[in-house]
Structure 1
């Protein structure tokens, strides 16, 4: 699933291609792609509206339209967005298309069909349950300490909880815990203050590196222009089971925690 760095990379690539463009038509070939609106309503409410802003909240892409409407897209497991000429031959698994006034189309390709398109005048109706953004100044050590306080959940599933922190998924949770030298089974309420500081720094370090390397093309993720990100070449533990830790040489181990594959160094992470 694309996580914060992959979605941020996607937004940054799409922004110059979409800002100021008007939506002239919407086509949908998989009704379940539409999360809270049917196709006729979506077509009516966005027709002729211009895209005024493109941003990210957690793992969601947020497109602010003129006249107060907002399109919100969640890529989920396999979603991919691209802007192409309208006469580009149709690709397999493209389920939703926004035609633009310059002869281009924003195409939402989603082989596994889990992605969602929302339309709302109140973005909080879709995004309101998300936890804080981890890369903004407001995400301080004090805020993280407050959110960890009294929680008895293991760190790995807690980091994956989008109501706890928005945008962290399996890749960057594993990498963050490695940077912080914390075992994924440690419970939140067991952390000492120095460990909370280390975790705060580690989350931001892992996510920033992911953005710098334009995402991890480990499964289906590619950038809007079809090229691959590079974060997969910079992971320390994720999907490196049995390979030596770059720090100590101990083989990386894998376990299932909270139903998710989890990778860690048993020597470095305590």
Structure 2
């Protein structure tokens, strides 16, 4: 599932490709991917200018000139592609937004969605999300204070979107590895210096993930060489049974709250 770095990578590309552009055509192949009648959706969105695209957690927000917002969550298996008809992937397209001869394809939206909301509805839909981990105003002190109110496994808390927005299976594992902490540790067993290190590792890993284009394999456009660049830099995620890049110990996979997590039993204590 795309996480904060993947969605931030999409946001950067989208603002470069479609910000300031008018939506010239809409194709809806799966009405379950939207939240209202297809006709009303089209009438509200068609010929609107996309002012800009922002991100909140794992969501993207397409801000339209008429004040409405297209709220996107890709969920598991969802991704996007931008280009001409001749460039599009040979995959089932759930929704297509056109910008002249180029199109934005929404693919794999079986669990994901592209919903249309007014500003207040958008705010309500996102009101449950915790702080943005890369917000300059989100300090180590605030992070530790929030963590001190939690109990249970560290992994479970890091992927809780009400605790912090945007972190999922991949980056929770990578953050814990960078910090040298077992993701299966109980939060009550962590002291403040360890929590402070976890905060710094969170910042470092997420920024690196963004810089390298996230871990998703599918390119965003023809010739895109950045998207997915973090995949080769994962230290533990999805590397069960392989040697740790740092010490050579075999990476372990363990289920925590029905979620896969990966760690090095030697580097992480």
* TM-score normalised according to structure 2 size: 0.92
When residues 89 and 184 of structure 1 are mapped into structure 2, their CA distance, relative to the original with a 3 A threshold, is closer
Aligned to 2:4: 4
Q: Indicate conservation of the 8 Å contact 2:81/2:88, yes or no.
A: no
Aligned to 1:223: 219
Q: Secondary structure at the match of 1:68?
A: coil
Q: Distance in 2 between matches of 1:65 and 1:121?
A: 10
Q: Secondary structure at the match of 1:96?
A: strand
Q: Distance in 2 between matches of 1:258 and 1:117?
A: 28
Q: Secondary structure at the match of 2:177?
A: helix
Q: Distance in 1 between matches of 2:61 and 2:124?
A: 13
1:55 CA displacement: 1.5
Aligned to 1:109: 107
1:198 CA displacement: 0.5
User: Pairwise CA RMSD of aligned residues?
Assistant: 1.8
The gaps in structure 2 that reach 5 residues or longer are none
When residues 162 and 89 of structure 1 are mapped into structure 2, their CA distance, relative to the original with a 3 A threshold, is closer
Q: Indicate conservation of the 8 Å contact 2:153/2:184, yes or no.
A: yes
Aligned to 2:116: 119
1:247 CA displacement: 2.7
Q: Distance in 1 between matches of 2:87 and 2:219?
A: 18
When residues 26 and 156 of structure 1 are mapped into structure 2, their CA distance, relative to the original with a 3 A threshold, is same
Aligned to 2:264: 265
Q: How does 1:1-270 map to 2 (within 5 A)?
A: 1-34=1-34, 36-86=35-85, 91-100=90-99, 102-110=100-108, 113-122=110-119, 123-217=122-216, 221-226=217-222, 227=224, 228-270=227-269
The gaps in structure 1 that reach 5 residues or longer are none
Q: Distance in 2 between matches of 1:185 and 1:90?
A: 39
| CA deviation map 1:214-249 (0-9, x unaligned) | 1113xxx42311545221211111122222223333
1:159 CA displacement: 0.9
Q: Distance in 2 between matches of 1:241 and 1:87?
A: 38
| CA deviation map 1:134-188 (0-9, x unaligned) | 1110221111112111311211111111111111111110000011111112122
Counting matched residue pairs gives: 264
